[in-house]
Amino acid sequence: MSLAISKENFFWHKVHSLTGIVPVGFYMVQHLTLNSFSLAGPEKFNAVIGFFAGMPKHVLLGMEVVLIWLPLLFHGVYGLFITGRAQNNAFGTTYGWTENKLYTLQRVTGIVVFLFLIYHVLTTTVNAKLNGEQVILYSAWRDKLSGTGYLLLFVYMIGVAACSFHLCHGTWNFCIRWGLTIGDASQRAVHRFSMVLFVLVTLLGWLALFGFLTGGGAEGPVQALRSGPFLASTA
């Protein structure tokens, strides 16, 4: 069942495809890895937040705009455009049921990721820039995820799984679109690999979330940040 993705095969679609892997996909994996420092407790997690908060503001903003916000905005908005134009072939075509479901799921997760990231970025980066880093420290995450009957823990688990599926299944799409996998056998092999990756990346994100619920820490958020290794000199 080798597939050839030829529809809308032009420059911006290629740029869209590339930005999904670099830098956005790369950013997500390193982001979840750094967040999994939560498993090592409040001090280690807060040190990561402190590292970024301690960077010169113009360097941090420049990196955020160039490496995260612009590529993500482009990929997300163009992705919605692609989704709007997509032929939903989940029913009544000669493609296999599984391929159709995965094609649809790539687009559905794109929309879920879009909504999740609007909420996530507003409540983390934007909130921290307006109200200070204490709103994204370990204890703030612990309170947030364990409050309201663990509702936000559930929302985050779904959000992380959607992002993970979108990236990992997207890697399979990417390999076909860029001609890296042409034959049936190689496409099947990369598909298996992408599904294993999906499980691993999802577990990484979920473990990061559970890390906020397992650590103790009576240490107040602001004090934790100030006593972190990177901000100690500026405190």
Q: Which residues bind ligand HEM (CB under 6 A)?
A: 17, 20-21, 24-25, 28, 31-32, 35, 49, 52, 64, 68, 72, 75-76, 79-80, 82-83, 106-107, 110, 113-114, 117, 120-121, 124-125, 136, 156, 160, 163, 166-167, 170-171, 173-174, 177, 205, 208-209
State the sign of the Cα–Cα–Cα–Cα dihedral 149, 153, 159, 161. Answer: negative
Least distance in angstroms from the C-beta of 128 to ligand HEM: 6
Minimum distance of ligand HEM from residue 16's CB (angstroms):
6
Residue nearest to ligand HEM (CB): 79
∠ CA 110-173-24, nearest 5°, is 55
Q: Which residues, in sequence order, are CB contacts of 97 under 8 Å at separation 6+?
A: none
Query: What is the closest distance, in whole angstroms, from the C-beta atom of residue 182 to ligand HEM in the complex?
Result: 15
20 vs 221, which CB is nearer to ligand HEM?
20
Cα–Cα distance for residue pair 141/10, rounded to 1 Å: 42
Q: How far is the CB of 94 from ligand HEM (least distance, A)?
A: 19
Q: Which is nearer to ligand HEM, 111 or 188 (CB)?
A: 111
Distance between terminal CA atoms of the chain?
61
User: Which DSSP string do the residues of 149-208 spell out, in sequence order?
Assistant: GGHHHHHHHHHHHHHHHHHHHHHHHHHHHTTS--SHHHHHHHHHHHHHHHHHHHHHHHHH
Nearer to ligand HEM, 124 or 227 (CB): 124
Give the Cα separation of 162 and 205 in Å (integer).
Answer: 11
Q: In this complex, which beta carbon is closest to ligand HEM, that of residue 52 or of residue 193?
A: 52
In whole angstroms, the minimum distance from the beta carbon of 214 to ligand HEM comes to 14
